[in-house]
Every structure is written in C-alpha cells, then in structure tokens.
Chain A
Amino acid sequence: MSSPERTWKTIESGPHTYMEALHPVVRKNYGNWKYHEIPRPGVLKHVAESGDALFTVRAGTPRQDTVDMVRQLCDIADRYCDGHLRFTVRNNVEFLTPKEENVEPMIRDLEAMGFPVGGAGNCVSSVSHTQGWLHCDIPATDASGVVKSMMDSLYDEFKHMEMPNKVRLSTSCCSINCGGQADIAVVVKHTRPPRINHDNLSMICELPKAVARCPVAAIRPTVVNGKRSLMVDEAKCICCGACFGACPAMEINHPEHSKFAIWVGGKNSNARSKPSTMSIVAHNLPNNPPRWPEVTEAVGKILTAYKAGGRPWERVGEWINRIGWKRFFEETGLIFDEDMIDSYRHARTTFNQSAHVRF
C-alpha cells in the first residue's frame, strides 16, 4: 500500500475527540445533570443543577446510511441545534437543543424527511443489527432487510410509548449473533452441518485451525480424491458455523437450510433482576427475502402478548418469569418443542430443579 509520493505522516490518534462535538449547554453542564423526563414520545428533557434545560429529539434511521442522508441530518442539526447531534447505540439519531421552541418544528421537519420521531421510553426502539449480504463475508441473510420489514410493522410501537417497559430488538445474520442479546432477537439458525468444498479446502484453509475451531471436536482431517481435506462427524456437529469463519470451504450457509430462530428475555440492564441471557422460543422459520413475513409475524405475536400482559416496568424476560414459560407459549401461540430443551454445556442449569409446576 505504500506510495512513494505520500506526504502525510500518520497520527495514531485513536477515537476522534469529543469535546468540540458537545453543544455549549452540554459542555457547561457536563456531569451536572439533575434529572430527565419524557414530555412526549421521542423527546427527552434533561434539567441541570444550574437550571438549564436541554431537549433531545430522537429519530429512527435506516442504519445503512449514505453521505446524502448524513448531510440531511446535519442540515437539521445546523437549523435547530447549533450544529450538534449524536447517535445512540441502537442507530437512532439525537438532536440536542436548549430551545424548547425548536422541538416542534424539528419533529415536523424530521417526519417530513421520513425519519420517524420516537424510540424513547416504553416503546420498541430501533433494532441493533448486523451487516448481512451487503458486506459481511459469512452471512446467511440480510439483517437490514429483515429489520426494515419488521420495523414497518412496528412503526407505531416506535412512535408511541404503550409497552410495559422499553423493548430492545436485535437481528443477526449468523449464529454468532453480533446483533446481541435483546428482549427479542431474530437470529439465523443453521439446521444442517456444513457442506465441504473438498476441491479448494486445502488451498484456502489452514487445516489445524479449522479442526481446533470446532467446539465439539466433530472435524477431522481426511484425504478426498488425493487431496488433503476435512470431514465432519455429522452426528456430533451442532451446526454452529464456527468452522466457516476459520475456513470458507466449510460451507455452513444454505439457501434453504439456514433458517431463523426467535429468542426472548435478554436484558443487559441491572435494573431489578440481574442481567439475563435469551431463550429460544421459535425456530425453523424460513429465510424468506425480500420481506421475511414469517419473522415479522412471530415477533408480532410476542409483542402483542407482552403489551397486553406485562406490568409496568416488566421487561419481556421479567414478564415471562412472572407468568411462566407455559403461559408464555399459550399466550403467544408459539410452540415449545423438544429441541428447545438445552443439550449443550451447563444444560442442567436450565432444568427445573424444583417441584414448582404451572397448570
């Protein structure tokens, strides 16, 4: 990559500095905020010890953006927020202004440009998700498309605060689940062992690395048609796809056999219950572009039941802990099956080690 005429000398500066990015009112009250409230969906009002107030207008974005779109967002920030904005970890954009009179026109402009205002408080916020077919080298689907389809159906839930507590969603294009743990997660689930491309395996893979990558020791070296290659003990294989990351010839992705699973009850906040990981509640849903209706429908069933039955402050997982898994499956119409009984490490911790029974 070296070019002889290069004149710039790299500065290994790390993250971009942030102080100049902060609105003067933010800088003035840095570390001295007193409380906040949510006067209306998508709007936060923070009040500082000094008495200063700061209004935040939050809007959904497609996450998969363009320079034109970012410039549009900058236009809004220049018009109403003295040139300051920020993003949330869930791809929402936030505009910060001390001027309450800017809130209404800003909402009007954002909505007119197609950016829904909402995503704060007890609502379904934007989906944290992965790259997919647009750019990833191991995806089985396109999270951006799944998310767009799902959020079209949850548009009103983003813009209104009618849920028992906040709802966080994620979507991931393989079982690694870079989208993350969430109240409800839509994650690719491979259902068959990898197909092995013996023709080029030894040319593109380090065999010992691929063997070592398997968490259940199902991969062994072998020779196929005189070439060094690998074989998979299909009875042992758990279809995790870890080998594919180490060796692209272990083709785990399949247009029909890479399916979707739905997971619920992930929570990272420490509020009330300790943080919790997700449980699987539906699987074998088809990977069905361009709109993935089966996924949207399953997520909708869960949200409808949670919205109707959750008590104030209960996150999805906390709601299920109260009503029990039996009623969760009854109320959502999803079906519990034998594959949902854990068979991996620490499985016993998920067995019911008590005489507590729900009828």
Chain B
Amino acid sequence: MEENKGASSCSSHGCNHSNGGRGEKFLNPTPMLDELEKGPWPSFVSGFKNLAERTKKPMLRGVMDQLEYSYNTKMGYWKGGLVTVDGYGAGVITRYSMIKDKIPEAAEFHTMRIQPPPGLHYNTAMLREMCDIWEEYGSGMLTLHGQTGDIMLQGIDEANVQECFDKLNEKGWDLGGAGAGMRTAVSCAGPARCEQACYDNLELHLHALRHFVGQLHRPEWNYKIKFKFSACPNDCTNSIMRSDLAVIGTWKDAIQVEEAAVTEWIEEKGVDALVNQVINLCPTRAISLQDGGMKIDTRDCVRCMHCLNAMPKALSPGKERGVSLLMGGKNTLKVGVNMGSLIIPFMKMETEEDREKFMKLVEEIIDWWDDSGLDHERIGETIERVGLRQFLDGVGLDVDINQVSRPRDNPYFKAKY
C-alpha cells in the first residue's frame, strides 16, 4: 500500500495531465483516473470531470479525490449508516467517508434508489425533470441502472435528502427497496416492443410493486425478496438467477407457424441451415424434417425459444399464453449459486382477476417464508433447508412433475400409512 500516492499529493505526479493548459482547474489532479479517459469506450471519468468543472460542486471534487485515493491504495473507504425519509425505513443507501479527515468534501455521499418505469421506458420530459431536481439537490452523478434495477442517484448530503425526495415524489418518482424487504423489480422491454412477449409484464410489474409498496419502504422480513418479470423464456432480465420470484412468460398450446414464412426462410438460408441451426438444436428433438420443411410435435416441445429466435418471422408463441413462476434464484453469497426452480408451471395473466389471484399467491408464499425462514435466509435457501415438499404443503400448492427434473434417486422418506 502506498498511502502517500493519494489524490491530494499532486506535487508527486507533475500535474500536467489531460486538462492542462486551459487555466485554473476546479478539480485536483487524478492521474490514475485519467488513465480511464483513454480508449474508445465512453469514459465515466471524463463524464465526472466535465460535470465537476461545470457545476463546481465540492462534493464532486471530494468523490473524485477519494476514488483516486482508492485507485492508489486498492481499498474502499465508504461505510454505511441510517439516512432515510419521513415514514420510510429504506431506499437511501447511506455512505459516510472513512477518510473525511484527508478528503472532507465527500464526507457524506448518500445514494437515493429510485424505481424506474417498468421496462426502463422513458420520455425525455421525465428524465429531464429528474435531472434538474438531482442537479439542484445532489451531485448530478447517477447510474442507469444499478444491478437492483433502480436508478441510482449518487451523492447527496443528509440535509438535502428529504427535500430532494419530496420534489422527486411530486413528479411521480418513489424510492426503491433496500434491506430485508420487497425490492425494486426489473422487467424486459415486454409487449411494448417485443413479439415474443407472452404476457404484459410491465402491467404486472407495476401492479405487484404497488401491492407490496409498504413492505418495500418498511422492510421487516427475514431478508430481501426480489421479483423479476421476463415476458418469455429467453429471460432477458436474468430472472432465474437474479430473483426470488421469477415470473417468466410462456404458452401452453402449439407454436404458431406461418407456412409461407417458413418456406421463405428455407429458400433464403437453405435446408442445411434448417437442419443444422434449427432442427438439430431443438433440445427435445421435437422438430423433424418433413418434405423439405419442418414439423413440430407440440407434445415434445419444452418452450425453450430457440426455433422462435432462429425464425422470428415464421414462428411465434402459441395463443394460450401466461406465466411460469420460478422461485429461489440468488447469487453466490454463502450457499453458492442457486438457480430458481419451477414452482407454478402455468398461470393465466390477462385480467385484473388473474393478477389479483397471483398477488394472493405471492402473499401466501411470503407469509410462509416469514414464518419458516431464518434471519438472512433467502426464500430459495429456506426451501432447500426444509424441503420443496414442505414448502408446497405450507403454501397449499399442488405437487407437479414439472417441479423436478426427475423423481428422487433414494428411498429415504416416510410414505403415508
């Protein structure tokens, strides 16, 4: 560790980098960070520097100095705390600097998590309003989007948090989740711009997160719980690995085939392509070559999406559409990677009634987890600890062969007698 290389010790570096020659600079020298202004990919460092030089916010100079210091010492210097807004117990990620004696200008650098519109669809009026409020009260730095799915407004003093929130809230923005409660959700583009969408995930996202808005703002469960809404099994939101409740669009009946478009595809790409890139890649060999064309046996189809991806003009999801619910996805911490596993093979998701039925089910699931789970235990971990069967019993869900990849390979259970 070379403690003396911090951003404040400009004299040891010569100070003649990027912005030299244009008069007095607001920022202190950041020779390490300046290395990240090189190369063709857009540079976050250049963005920060431009913003700081324009707005002359001391907090920006402080955070750049602290980041430069981290690049030298290879250590982080933020610690948490408890900043929030009236009536909420979560949503502001509190950050105090551990080196404020060295770098006082970023002593506080809290982040406000803001829930974006489902599917990350924006109009420029919304974004400009948000930017104006954020520039007035905060640093002007933000992330689109954090791994939680939130807009991360990064860098605000505690003294400004409430007023900033009020201004944002007036414009329809609300804080996102944090801590042991419901979390901000993520959706793919959905039916707004995708022909594969099997349900209106944007609508369900809005509905579900409003339903649980209290538990999002005032966390009180064992641990976090996350929804992700992917409108088809391509799962563009990575819901199977990144969410406790993965709501993935699917269909029940046959893939819709437009024969003329199939013929056109084969004429353009050839039978070799049909065989090598479509038929042979079907994971359950549900497609066969027939009279130079393709035939799909629906009973063998597992709705993987490959042939639809390969032939988007010719093939589309069936007409009887809905969702599958997978549960228990989480990443590595403690137990290793857990992928979500299938719990409900199919549910209709078209009407208000369908959505209400779904919300009722999720409430029962969460109640069971709240009762059966341990502190800091995600729902997938609870299910693994107590058993899938016990979970199904507890929530009152039907056993379904689709919930397993095969029946058990050991005889150790007590059958009913």
Contacts and interface: CB of A to CB of B under 8 A. Distances in A.
A67 B140 contact: yes
B312 A35 contact: yes
Contacts of B87: 10
A213 B334 contact: yes
A87 B84 CA distance: 28
B285 to A, nearest CB: 12
Contacts of B375: 209, 212
Interface bracket on A: 35 or more
A272 B301 CA distance: 11
A21 B193 CA distance: 13
A145 B71 contact: yes
Contacts of A242: 333-334
Interface string B122-141: 11111110011011000011
B333 A176 contact: yes
Interface bracket on B: 35 or more
Contacts, number: 371
Given A133-B71, A175-B332, A255-B75, A148 B44 contact: yes
Contacts of A137: 76, 78-80, 95
B262 to A, nearest CB: 13
A258 B74 CA distance: 9
B70 A133 contact: yes
B173 to A, nearest CB: 6
A98 to B, nearest CB: 12
A357 interface: no
B47 A1 contact: no
Interface in A134-165: 134-142, 144-145, 148-149, 151-153, 155
A134 B67 contact: yes
Interface of B: 1, 32-33, 35-36, 38-45, 47-48, 50-51, 54, 63, 66-67, 70-71, 73-80, 83-88, 93, 95, 109, 111, 115-128, 131-132, 134-135, 140-147, 149, 152, 154, 158, 161-163, 165-166, 169-170, 172-174, 184-186, 188-189, 191-195, 197, 200, 202, 205-206, 209-210, 213-214, 216-217, 233-242, 276-277, 281-283, 302-306, 309-310, 312-313, 316, 331-337, 339, 375-376
29 contacts: A1-B83, A8-B170, A10-B87, A12-B174, A12-B213, A15-B118, A15-B206, A18-B118, A20-B123, A64-B143, A65-B47, A65-B142, A91-B144, A130-B147, A135-B109, A148-B36, A148-B43, A149-B39, A152-B40, A155-B39, A181-B241, A209-B376, A215-B334, A240-B333, A246-B376, A255-B75, A271-B233, A287-B74, A291-B35
